[in-house]
Structure 1
Amino acid sequence: MKISFTPMRRDPGMVLSCDGDRLTVNGETFDFSSLAEGATLSRDTLEPDWLASDVRRRDGVVELTVILPHGPTAPEETLFPAPVVVETGPVPLPPYSG
């Protein structure tokens, strides 16, 4: 899964993990395994308020953008985060605050 981030000043922080095509956000799991190659799920059809983009599958990889909550003193690496690719396990997130 390729995850991009849109930083936003928000309380509280976030915990993300990935297991194949399933993404868990703060304990809630979203399964994108039925998303076909080249298909897109509109952000408007999905419930989570952390989602900042449509979800698509390109070259076999689920791609999406999530809102990255951060504190009032977030460091530059949090304000300008790089995308990550994760297959299984915790999603590495930049620090919530500096």
Structure 2
Amino acid sequence: MQITLSPVRREGRPTFERLGDALVIDGETFDFSGVPEGAQLPAEAVASDWLAGPVTRIAGELHLALALSHGANAPHETLFPDPVQVASDGAVPLPPYDATAPEEASA
């Protein structure tokens, strides 16, 4: 599963988890196994505010975009994230929500 992250200033962040051809967002499962090769499922067809673009299947792999919420002090890696390749089931690795304050980092 190839995931493009689209940063957006927004309070809170859900958990994202891959489960085969499904994506679990905060415990709600969105099954994309029915998306055939070369097809595109528009984001509007999925009842989630976290999907930021269409879901497509290219060479057997799902490609999708997720909104990446971040805090007011988000680090560069969060504001300009690299795409995420999720090869197996489990949590989708995400960059930090916010930068750690200097006093917290030295404690």
Gaps of 5+ in 1: none
Give the alignment's TM-score, normalised by structure 1.
0.96
Matches within 5 A, 1:1-98: 1-86=1-86, 87-98=88-99
Q: Secondary structure at the match of 1:3?
A: strand
Tell me the percent identity.
Answer: 48
Q: Secondary structure at the match of 2:38?
A: coil
Runs ≥4 residues deviating over 2 A:
none
* One-letter amino acid of the counterpart of residue 4, structure 1: T
Q: Which has the higher strand share?
A: 1
* One-letter amino acid of the counterpart of residue 76, structure 1: H
Q: Over the residues paired in the alignment, what is the CA RMSD in angstroms?
A: 0.8
CA contact (8 A) 1:14 1:68 kept: no
* One-letter amino acid of the counterpart of residue 51, structure 2: L
* One-letter amino acid of the counterpart of residue 96, structure 1: Y
* One-letter amino acid of the counterpart of residue 63, structure 1: H
* One-letter amino acid of the counterpart of residue 92, structure 1: P
- CA distance in structure 1 between the partners assigned to 2:13 and 2:37 by the alignment: 32
Per-residue CA deviation, residues 12-38 of structure 1 (Å, 9 max, x unaligned), is: 112111011010111111000111111
- CA distance in structure 1 between the partners assigned to 2:44 and 2:60 by the alignment: 23
* One-letter amino acid of the counterpart of residue 89, structure 1: G
CA contact (8 A) 1:71 1:97 kept: yes
Give the alignment's TM-score, normalised by structure 2.
0.88
Of structures 1 and 2, the larger Rg is shown by 2
- CA distance in structure 1 between the partners assigned to 2:83 and 2:62 by the alignment: 13
Corresponding pairs, count: 98
* One-letter amino acid of the counterpart of residue 16, structure 1: F
